[in-house]
Structure 1
Amino acid sequence: MPQLNPAPWFAILVFSWLVFLTVLPPKVSAHSFPNEPTPQSTEKPQTESWSWPWH
């Protein structure tokens, strides 16, 4: 039963993971987002009180 012999499949598994771990991380880390978030100020905006009548 050849499927019980782990030698070729384990080598294929290890080789494919080595390829994934050497090719994909540089591609992922080179990705840049099109709109970088801008830091907002820590001041709270001045809000005006509600001047409408409640009735």
Structure 2
Amino acid sequence: MPQLNPSPWFMILLFSWLVLITIIPLKIMKHTITNDPTMLAAMQPEIEPWNWPWF
């Protein structure tokens, strides 16, 4: 039964894990974030009390 021969499948498994562990994270980490989240957190909203005419 050729399915039980681990020789070709083991190398395919090792190569695929090598790609997943080394190449793909490097490509993902090279992406830049276009919206800087620190700029949004630095802005404080202006809070104005409501004028309730019936209170």
Say yes or no: TM over 0.5.
yes
Does residue 32 in structure 1 map to residue 32 in structure 2?
yes
Note the residue ranges of structure 2 that are not aligned, 5 or more in a row: none
Q: Give the fraction of aligned pairs with identical amino acids, expressed as a percent.
A: 54
| CA-to-aligned-CA distance 1:10-47 (integer Å, 9 cap, x gap) | 11111121123221111111110111111426xx6553
State the TM-score, normalizing by the size of structure 1: 0.65
Aligned length: 53
Unaligned runs of 5+ in 1: none
Q: Compute the TM-score of the two structures, normalised by the length of structure 2.
A: 0.65
- Runs of 4 or more off by more than 3 Å in structure 1? none
Q: Of Structure 1 and Structure 2, which has the larger fraction of its residues in helix? A: 2
